Structure 1
């Protein structure tokens, strides 16, 4: 007579398909990550700008004048012109003491777009500001 061979059940999971999916996702993320991080995130209003709440902390205002000089204003205190890196370092120090303080950029209409963008990039990379706002004048009809 035939002897029955008893096979033991295998309690292992075949992980090869999971590894394939993981490698495909890794390649997708490696390709798309540089495309996502190349822009500067700016919170622009879609219609009319709303003023900051009066109950919120006074904002840090990083300004660029028509000659390309940088200033940092806290509340109503104006300071001497400084480099963009100095502004970013001062903002970082202020945010370490008072986190959650809003940061806005006030750019003169005659200043180059590059000067404003460079300041925003420094505020995000050096100072670690999560969101940089743009300051505007109200439209009078």
Structure 2
């Protein structure tokens, strides 16, 4: 009987935690986050207009208006000026320079109704790469 008591007294509880399952879970989460981060950065963020769009307030600076016509040519109007035709690189450079001077300037996209949708998306991607945080789409108010 003394032998049974000795065996029970020799055993000590093991106070180690098995961290292998936690490491496995962390690796799976890391892979998931790496995959989803790549997918999230490919989209173009655009604030779409609602049916009853409101005009810009009087306290906002004049917007930068980037336009694309039916033929897919790009135009830029700054501070309410006249649309000037330019290449995509020049448009991105001018928008980025203007936003460095005044980062609160709103940027609007005006596209012809008959233009290829891909051209409008290309313009929005171009503006996003130039550092524009959000893009507004210009619409014509419906006639009542």
More deviation, 60-69/15-24: 15-24
TM-score (norm 2): 0.81
CA RMSD of aligned residues (A): 2.4
- For the pair 1:76 / 2:84, whether they are aligned, the reply is no
- For the pair 1:31 / 2:31, whether they are aligned, the reply is no
Query: Greater share of helix residues, 1 or 2?
Result: 2
Structure 1 contact 71–82 (Cα < 8 Å) conserved: yes
The number of residue pairs the alignment matches comes to 139
**Residues 96/13 of structure 1: CA separation in 2 closer, same or farther (3 Å cut):** farther
For residues 94 and 133 of structure 2, the distance between their equivalents in structure 1, rounded to whole angstroms, comes to 16
1:60-90, CA deviations, whole angstroms, 9 ceiling, x for partnerless residues?
Answer: 1001122222111112211431012211110
- For the pair 1:140 / 2:105, whether they are aligned, the reply is no
**Where has structure 1 moved over 6 Å in runs of 4 or more?**
none
Find the structure with the greater CA-based Rg: 2
TM-score (norm 1): 0.83
